Amino acid sequence: MDTVIFAALAEPNRFRIVELLREGPLTVGEIAARTGLRQPQASKHLRVLSEAGLVMVRADANRRIYMLRPEPFFEIQAWVESCRRVWDDRFNRLDDYLHQWQGQPADPDTRE
């Protein structure tokens, strides 16, 4: 899991830009307008996102259109799933522990 991706997303303005781009590609002007950022600021954030592999840009006449790349999000999803499994395992042990404490054997079939 590439931590550069998380570093890029950890900044709130960049997170907002990513959320916007989930709805479709935008130019830097459109991004600036919708986030309230000044255009040079938006450009700077887009450069960081691009270096992290989260966005790519395509030229259309004299416009530059930014869009999300899907690959990093698969990585993030995989990491989320790993966390979920670790906690699932821990919660299974908590479940067993609570049952023992109540004086009942734990029954895996009753896990909701």
Partner 1 sequence: MNPTKATVEGRNLIISRTFQAPREQVFRAWTDPLHLPQWWGPQGFTITVQEIDIRPGGVWRYVMHGPDGTDYDNLVTFLDIQAPSRIEYKHGDFENDKHFRVTVTLEEQGQSTLLTMIMQFPTVDALNQTIQQVGAIEGAQSTMERLNQQLSKIAP
By CB under 8 A, name the binding residues for partner 1: 1, 3-4, 6-7, 9-10, 12, 15, 76, 79-91, 93-99, 101-102, 110-112
Nearest to 14 by CA among 48, 39, 65: 48
Q: Which is nearer to partner 1, 44 or 99 (CB)?
A: 99
Shortest distance, position 2 Cβ to partner 1, whole Å: 10
- Give 58 or 84: the residue with its C-beta nearer to partner 1: 84
CB of 14 to partner 1, least distance (A): 11
CB 82 → partner 1: shortest distance, Å?
A: 5
| Spatial distance between the Cα atoms of 69 and 61, rounded to a whole number of angstroms | 21
Give CA–CA dist 54/18, Å, rounded.
8
| Closer residue to partner 1 (CB): 62 or 102 | 102
CA distance 80 to 78: 5
Closest distance between partner 1 and the C-beta of residue 72, in Å? 13
Q: Helices then strands (H, E): number in the chain?
A: 5, 3
Q: Is 74:82 a contact under the CB 8 Å cutoff?
A: no
- Choice between 20 and 76, CB closer to partner 1: 76
